[in-house]
Chain A
């Protein structure tokens, strides 16, 4: 699986969405991505890339695109 596939899969699993729904998705734009879903998504992304995100990055992870930007800090290129 490519990094992009893994990244999308984290959204699919954590938020129970279809693969084509992930791109462009924003925090609180769907019911599943609420505060609880957010923690699940963070956990899924951390597991997928075997990283541990900083507080600021967990908080700033406000959209699909923002997450890609944040993951560069952890040497993960989507």
Chain B
């Protein structure tokens, strides 16, 4: 997918400890992995470090299939995944090596080690299979998304085109590379010969900002929570001239926050690009061109180059009219092959044929811009009336900008989870009044923190304990 040899001595990545790797050295890693691993499955415990990036890039380029997992993955879940998928190798940082004391070390570079499991190579991977990712929910399911080489190439080329990426870019990481959005930033920037700035430091730590300044980062991406934190950090008053582009994905920003960042970007001559995607579509399906960020705030934009959308009504007919909500369906070469639940599923080829039913409800305005309205499965029937939980959440977020919230429940019992104990009763009254749902069916629960995964997405499964 990449042309490492073209970029030679150019820096491919720098980490916050000052280590560097050139494209030539990446190329060298490719032959290392190809020679040792062949066509096998490797569990990759990811971190934003040179060793992790080099291992990933080399595996993908060498035809080795990595399963991208968080370095701090729950041990029980990891053991279950190992049991289900029987990886031939594990690529893990040196300081985590002791967690796999029964595995033999075969190779070590840039602070990472390659460990070999006992079993022989199974030679059962489908030719098109490039990469496996978990879906963003961490419910303990062993379900993985199967991405092909063509998926990655198509999505990468499309993103490079619409973001106009070039070799001078220096994106700083704010997301883990086992998360599809974080990974797509790496894929696209290695594609154009840019230099990744790798750090696992959080954006409210001094180290992150020192690294950003020292290495003159030109861009970063963020999920909605990232942007909420940036606002809290008085980002609009920071002096960071090197930053030219900010991208956002991984969930819908509140329209107000979208507008504020779009306004800031316009006033400071930067680009703010809101995007939409899913792991099932490799990474990206839509983007809001930065020129429209302010005029169309709240929108997820238009389909990426090479892709297109359709909206379907409840009867399965294509919606032609503007401003009519329907289920969003995407078509494009980046639609992934399908899911895997077991090792034997890795033999499977394409099950989707380039069409992805997103499960998101959306509408399109008269100019062709799309707006996410909710997620198909996140609704309750309240006394026979359908209530969209994402819409309830958005109402709460709009009303109580400083509070974090989540909504869940069972039919006729709606639960509002809020991280501000002071507004429980008021919020309950407000929602009941606005939705005309009887107040006795609405419950408000205080949580000191809304449970979220590494990417900032709410873990709704964790909320079930409160109402089941």
Contacts and interface: CB of A to CB of B under 8 A. Distances in A.
Contact of A37 (B203, B232, B449): B449
Contacts of A62: 206
Contacts of A59: 204-206, 209, 233
Nearest to B452: A36
Given A35-B202, A39-B204, A43-B402, A55 B234 contact: yes
Contact of B232 (A14, A27, A42): A42
Specify which of B204, B206, B225 lies most central, judged by the most chain A CB atoms within 10 Å of its CB.
Answer: B204
Given A54-B234, A59-B204, A35 B229 contact: yes
Interface of B: 202-206, 209, 225, 229, 232-235, 237-238, 402, 419, 448-449, 452
Interface string A16-44: 10000000000100000011111110110
B448 A16 contact: yes
Contacts of B232: 39, 42-43, 58
Tell me the interface secondary structure of chain B in the complex.
loop
B225 to A, nearest CB: 8
A69 interface: no
A7 B438 CA distance: 40
A44 to B, nearest CB: 11
A55 B239 CA distance: 11
Specify which of A36, A37, A54 lies most central, judged by the most chain B CB atoms within 10 Å of its CB.
Answer: A36
A65 interface: no
A34 B454 CA distance: 12
B309 to A, nearest CB: 33
B206 A60 contact: yes
Interface of A: 14, 16, 27, 34-40, 42-43, 54-55, 58-60, 62
Contacts, number: 41
A55 B233 contact: yes
Contacts of B202: 34-35, 38
Contact of A55 (B225, B238, B448): B238
A4 B402 CA distance: 25
Specify which of A42, A54, A59 lies most central, judged by the most chain B CB atoms within 10 Å of its CB.
Answer: A59
A15 to B, nearest CB: 8
A38 B225 CA distance: 13
A57 to B, nearest CB: 10
A16 B353 CA distance: 50
Q: Give the 3 A-B CB pairs with smallest separation, nearest first.
A: A35-B202, A55-B234, A59-B206
19 contacts: A14-B448, A35-B203, A35-B205, A36-B225, A36-B449, A37-B449, A39-B229, A40-B419, A40-B449, A42-B232, A43-B402, A55-B233, A55-B234, A55-B237, A55-B238, A58-B204, A58-B234, A59-B209, A60-B206
A38 B204 contact: yes
B233 A58 contact: yes
Contacts of A39: 204, 229, 232
A58 B233 CA distance: 7
Nearest to A37: B449
A37 B206 CA distance: 16
A2 B237 CA distance: 33
Contacts of B225: 36
A35 B402 contact: no
A14 B404 CA distance: 13
Nearest to B456: A36
A39 B234 CA distance: 12
A24 B101 CA distance: 35
